[in-house]
Amino acid sequence: MVKKNVCVFISGYGSNLESLIKYSRDYKFPINIKLVVCNNIYAKGILHAKKNSIPYLIIDTKKRSYESKILKEMKKHKISLICLAGYMKIISKKFIQNFGKKIINIHPSLLPKFKGLNTFNRILKKREKKTGCTVHYVNEKLDNGQIILQKSFFIKKNDNEEILKKKTQYLEYKAFAEAVINIYRYN
């Protein structure tokens, strides 16, 4: 099997990146991570790229040319899929068009519920019975593209934001990996 080259975009801790790196060590997993893009110089997630000798690009989103810089780097590494894993910056329509290939995102709620930030707090306030995570394609609207898959769990009485985050992220790692497998199984 010829593996596809993937770029992961991060802004923070990078636990989803770490998980994808682990999965990609399996020769049957359809991707290899060839590039990490990060918009935060202090992001812990960069360490996962360093430790695994994956090239990384730290971008300054205040500079107008930053998206073309990313596109140039992605061409160099023949990237065919972008995984947004906690990337806290909206991707422009122009970037999506110019890349022209698949972009997927992981979101910590059962979309279309709770788009945007601060999800766990809002989920608790709404007294939801169930929550989970969603992997979806990215389009120009926030957290709005076609859903690839979701994983869910029932919220317990004593679950707080921190616990919800832990439970959700545990599912995210599996969901992201399964979504990547699905994409290459059917395409």
Catalytic residues: 107
Nearest residue to the partner ligand GRF, using Cβ: 86
Tokens 């947004």, residue? 84
Q: Quote the tokens at residue 136.
A: 């979806």
Least distance (Å) between residue 84 CB and ligand GRF: 7
Q: Quote the tokens at residue 89.
A: 């910056």
Nearer to ligand GRF, 83 or 183 (CB): 83
CA distance 187 to 35: 22
Nearer to ligand GRF, 38 or 100 (CB): 38
Least distance (Å) between residue 149 CB and ligand GRF: 14
- The amino acid at 60: D
Nearer to ligand GRF, 95 or 176 (CB): 176
Nearer to ligand GRF, 30 or 86 (CB): 86
Least distance (Å) between residue 55 CB and ligand GRF: 19
Distance, CA of 58 to chain centre: 17
Q: Which residues are paired to 149 by β-bridges?
A: 135
Distance, CA of 110 to chain centre: 15
Least distance (Å) between residue 15 CB and ligand GRF: 3
Contact residues for ligand GRF, defined by CB under 6 A: 10, 12-16, 45, 85-86, 106-108, 169, 172
Q: Which of 57, 64, 19 is nearest to 41 (CA)?
A: 57
Contact 48, 18 (CB under 8 A): yes
Centre a 10 Å sphere on the Cβ of residue 71 and count the other Cβ atoms it contains.
16
Q: Which of 13, 36, 18, 45 is nearest to 176 (CA)?
A: 18
